[in-house]
Amino acid sequence: MAGLALVAAIGLLDTPIAKATTYRELCSSVPSACEYTGPDAPVLAAVVCWERSTSTARLMTGASCPTGSWPYFAKYGVVEPLTQTVTAFQPLDDACSRPGLCQPGILAPPTTTGAVMCCFGDTCYPAGGDECYGGELFYCSFGASNDDGTITCFDEEGCA
């Protein structure tokens, strides 16, 4: 009986998910491989193979990645079922989780949009790629661009 348990345990240790702790996290290792998104990003929790030459992540389906790609762990993302291509996500905190950063939703204009923003204190700008040097990245799911280039984020819960 103990031998059977040992064989089962070894089998579980050899799966890609079990090996995930040995792989670097994709979004922190290759930030350009991941898309910023809001705090409700779908959990993927899978080992992926990142191919730098094509900037593509695919699910690891065998014991190792194909030549020219490297294994990483992707905590958040979605998989395209036919090609096994992974879109990995880097979730950001909701801007309204920081007190004073959002305006009441009742003040929002008729058209709003979701966007990643870079905030310096209480002033926020559209975040371009990974650029937010000296600021903090947040996700604004209910915001508007201002004429001066800043973003005003509104609290959706304040809408009635």
Helices (H), 14-160: 26-29
Q: Which two tokens stand for residue 14?
A: 């050899």
The verdict on 20 and 40 lying in the same domain is yes
Residue 20 has pLDDT above 70, yes or no: no
Spatial neighbors of 2 by CB under 8 A, at least 6 apart, are none
Q: Which residues contact 57 (CB under 8 A, 6 or more apart)?
A: 26, 33, 48, 49, 50, 51, 72, 74, 77, 85, 86, 87, 88
Q: How many domains does the chain have?
A: 2
pLDDT in tens, 31-62: 999 999 999 999 999 999 999 999 999 999 88
Are 90 and 57 spatial neighbours (Cβ–Cβ below 8 Å)?
no
Are 38 and 20 within one domain? yes
**Distance between CA atoms of residues 102 and 113, nearest Å:** 14
Better-scored residue on pLDDT, 21 or 93:
93
Residue 2 resides in a domain: no
Decide if 9 is inside a domain. Answer: no
